[in-house]
Structure 1
Amino acid sequence: MPSIRALQLLADRQVTVTEREPPAPPSDGEVQLRVHVVGLNHIDVWGYRGMAFAKRQYPLTVAAEAACEVVSVGSGVSGLQPGDRVVPYGALTCGTCRFCTRGQDNLCENVRGVRGFHIDGFAQDLTNHPARLLAKIPPSVSLRDAACVSVAYATVEHMLFDNAHLEPGEWILVHAGGSGIGSIAIRIAKSLGCTVITTVGSADKAAKAKALGADHVINYREDRFEGIVRKLTGKKGVDVVFEHTGADTWAGSLLSMRRGGRLVTCGATSGPSGSINLMQLFQQQYRIIGSFGSPLSALARALDRIAAGVTPVIDTVFGLADFQAGIERLESRNVFGKLLIEL
């Protein structure tokens, strides 16, 4: 049987395309997938740097996010057949704990790891995956757009609706509007008729964010964003802050919120530590919500939203051998939207 290609991390910051044996036929409850496109995310940067927060073995096939096609199905699988296009959920959850059974998969008590981070990921020609952890791609959604779903788009879906409960017509501050999740958040919020304020780090990104639909764009390198937000909102503040940058923006984000406002955060790329004035917290009745990943249901919702026309922003599509260039581009922040690798 011919070998398959796999993009593997050999050690911290050492990645190469290797040849490996193809997977065995899918077992009970599994399907075999042909991987077409994978997405790059900050979780890939962390893994590339060796920040896995758990034991793992090298070589490790990378990539936690993908769009695939079903090649074959194992016994006990229904509702899927060869040729179906699917998005796999990257966390290998148990499916039986109290959280999994009530649809909170990202709180699974017995998760076996995240693909591409703790265990082999999707940057390979063929792979097996549990059939229950797949979402079908609607016919009108491209594989490239679908490859943005399981980590980036679904994370935003979960943050905005399951956690922040964003409503039409509200004001929202989206940090790092040029990032993969920031650009998606702008598009989703605008599709609801929200007023969107976003922060970016350059004039070029400011122009792109404006073209994307942001109502107000603030270059955080030139202005204190919280002061401008207060002016724009008549000193009231925004209803929702979409936070994922961490230490550098934390204090300003709190000052940007209206009384009873909601802050939802999923990241800390500028540092993990921030302080909070407890009197400010309870007097202003803020709601601060941590958000990590998404439940499986968010993948289907994200795909439906893309099918309705709220597509992700794609910056660059690389080849399989250009993973390191993609990671370096992501690390440099010289990106607007999502980075993809096409197999």
Structure 2
Amino acid sequence: MKAAYIDGHGGNEVVHVGERPLPERTHGDVRLRLHAATLNRVDLYMRDSGAGITHRLPQIMGVDGAGVVDAVADDETQLAPGQRVLLHPGVACGRCEFCLRGDDVLCTRYQILGEHIDGTFAQYVSVPARNVVPLPGGWSFAEGAALGVNHLTAWRMLTTQAQLKAWETVLIFGIGGGVSLAGLQIAKALGARTLVTSRHAGKLERARALGADHGIDSSREDVAKAALAATGGRGVDVVLENVGEAAWPHALKSLVRGGRLVTCGATSGDQPGADLRRLFIRQLKVLGSTMGTVAELHQLLAFCQRHDVRPVIEQSFALDDVHAALSRLESSEQFGKIALTID
């Protein structure tokens, strides 16, 4: 089968498009013929170094994906060949204490497509049947693929971890990126007031068009002061951030007393100042979050259909043009998801 894979670490020179073995389908697995995948920051991380993530080279890239069912077990009753589906990228053991309590995203033997095992920048992938979810009618394959990482991550951050309420205000850092944009869409559908930041005025305008209540230009404004001004000096109830070290002090200073900061990334560094006095005097809560459970993906899909929330696809590239797609993501100029079409 045709796939995009890495055979080392560095830049685009280690990314190749060529033939890879067709994945074997063991009992209980479903093999999918993929038609779309989207790019995520972790794709750049795996290309650049993959440090700290157990993996073997060569490895097929790509975390999320959508396509049609190609092959299933004879006793499979819910999925059938030809059915349009999207996938959950995390493969859990189903037996550890975290899986047994329904928190499979904390599985002690968790494997994520495109990180620990071969991923979705390929014509075919094989995953457990529980990881395969029917694609809503009228959705494109790219929209379905995009749901499995960014929207799922934002959903868990806002609903499970931060428990955002309709009457609250949320500050979202780095609008235009996948998780941040998904967070805006979900927060608005929940009824919350949304403040967003960006260094690009054009991205702030596009975010306002999608419903953002207030934009903060972080290239010329102090984010914390602007967030306090926008809330009458009170501060925001929730901060959603995936930037890390560069955003951390502004995030903490933007919170109301008793507020919650939920984080899923550290692209600017992972060792920020703790600001412990502010943390305990104002009784702030810091919550970590990564991906989401299979159950949360089903909840998210139902929510998106009820509120007509769909991922924003900025641009699509052919699989052969994966270098150009990676370069576009690396530029940080995108607003929405970058997709790969796999034909």
Normalising by structure 2, report the TM-score: 0.95
2:281 pairs with 256, 280, 283, which one? 283
Q: Does 1:9 align with 2:6?
A: yes
Q: Does 1:238 align with 2:236?
A: yes
Trace 1:288-327 onto structure 2 (pairs within 5 A).
288-308=286-306, 309-327=308-326
Q: Is the 8 A contact 2:53 2:115 kept in 1?
A: no
SS of 1:230 mapped into structure 2: helix
- How far apart are residue 341 of structure 1 and its match? 0.5
- How far apart are residue 52 of structure 1 and its match? 4.1
- How far apart are residue 75 of structure 1 and its match? 4.1
- How far apart are residue 249 of structure 1 and its match? 0.9
Query: Who is 1:132 aligned against?
Result: 130
What is the alpha-carbon distance in structure 2 between the residues aligned to residue 51 and residue 23 of structure 1? 22
What is the alpha-carbon distance in structure 1 between the residues aligned to residue 283 and residue 138 of structure 2? 43
Q: Which amino acid in the other structure matches residue 94 of structure 1? A: C
SS of 1:186 mapped into structure 2: helix
Task: Write out per-residue CA displacement over residues 98-141 of structure 1, whole angstroms, 9 at most, x where no aligned residue.
Answer: 11122211100122x22111211111112221112222222243
What is the alpha-carbon distance in structure 1 between the residues aligned to residue 334 and residue 269 of structure 2? 20
Once the two structures are overlaid, the 10-residue window that deviates more, 152-161 or 186-195, is 186-195
Once the two structures are overlaid, the 10-residue window that deviates more, 231-240 or 269-278, is 269-278
Q: Which amino acid in the other structure matches residue 19 of structure 1? A: E
What is the alpha-carbon distance in structure 2 between the residues aligned to residue 52 and residue 152 of structure 1? 22
Distance 1:187 1:201, change over 3 A: same
Q: Does 1:94 align with 2:93?
A: yes
Q: Is the 8 A contact 1:69 1:85 kept in 2?
A: yes
Q: Which amino acid in the other structure matches residue 246 of structure 1? A: G
Q: Is the 8 A contact 2:182 2:311 kept in 1?
A: yes
Q: Is the 8 A contact 1:28 1:75 kept in 2?
A: no
What is the alpha-carbon distance in structure 1 between the residues aligned to residue 149 and residue 248 of structure 2? 23
SS of 1:65 mapped into structure 2: coil
Query: Who is 1:108 aligned against?
Result: 107
Q: Is the 8 A contact 1:85 1:136 kept in 2?
A: yes
What is the alpha-carbon distance in structure 2 between the residues aligned to residue 51 and residue 19 of structure 1? 22
What is the alpha-carbon distance in structure 1 between the residues aligned to residue 54 and residue 257 of structure 2? 43
Once the two structures are overlaid, the 10-residue window that deviates more, 63-72 or 141-150, is 141-150
Distance 1:21 1:270, change over 3 A: closer
Q: Which amino acid in the other structure matches residue 6 of structure 2? A: L
Q: Which amino acid in the other structure matches residue 183 of structure 2? A: A
What is the alpha-carbon distance in structure 1 between the residues aligned to residue 258 and residue 54 of structure 2? 41
What is the alpha-carbon distance in structure 2 between the residues aligned to residue 75 and residue 263 of structure 1? 47
Listed as ranges, the gaps of 5+ residues in structure 2 are none
Query: Who is 1:23 aligned against?
Result: 23
Q: Which amino acid in the other structure matches residue 179 of structure 2? A: I
Query: Who is 1:61 aligned against?
Result: 60
Normalising by structure 1, report the TM-score: 0.95
Q: Which amino acid in the other structure matches residue 20 of structure 1? A: R
Q: Is the 8 A contact 1:181 1:337 kept in 2?
A: no
Identity of matched residues, %? 35
* C-alpha RMSD over aligned residues: 1.4
Trace 1:1-343 onto structure 2 (pairs within 5 A).
4-12=1-9, 13=11, 14-24=14-24, 26-111=25-110, 113-308=111-306, 309-343=308-342
What is the alpha-carbon distance in structure 2 between the residues aligned to residue 279 and residue 270 of structure 1? 23
SS of 1:100 mapped into structure 2: helix
SS of 2:65 mapped into structure 1: strand
What is the alpha-carbon distance in structure 1 between the residues aligned to residue 109 and residue 77 of structure 2? 25
Q: Which amino acid in the other structure matches residue 174 of structure 1? A: I
Q: Is the 8 A contact 2:32 2:70 kept in 1?
A: yes
Q: Is the 8 A contact 2:170 2:240 kept in 1?
A: yes
- How far apart are residue 205 of structure 1 and its match? 1.1
Q: Is the 8 A contact 1:145 1:312 kept in 2?
A: yes
Q: Is the 8 A contact 1:31 1:74 kept in 2?
A: yes
- How far apart are residue 91 of structure 1 and its match? 2.1
SS of 1:289 mapped into structure 2: strand
- How far apart are residue 277 of structure 1 and its match? 2.5
Listed as ranges, the gaps of 5+ residues in structure 1 are none
Q: Which amino acid in the other structure matches residue 42 of structure 1? A: R
- How far apart are residue 82 of structure 1 and its match? 1.1
Q: Is the 8 A contact 1:141 1:306 kept in 2?
A: no
Q: Is the 8 A contact 2:130 2:294 kept in 1?
A: no
Once the two structures are overlaid, the 10-residue window that deviates more, 268-277 or 29-38, is 268-277
Q: Is the 8 A contact 1:8 1:17 kept in 2?
A: yes
Q: Which amino acid in the other structure matches residue 335 of structure 1? A: Q
SS of 2:91 mapped into structure 1: coil
Q: Which amino acid in the other structure matches residue 253 of structure 2? A: L
Once the two structures are overlaid, the 10-residue window that deviates more, 48-57 or 95-104, is 48-57
Once the two structures are overlaid, the 10-residue window that deviates more, 65-74 or 50-59, is 50-59
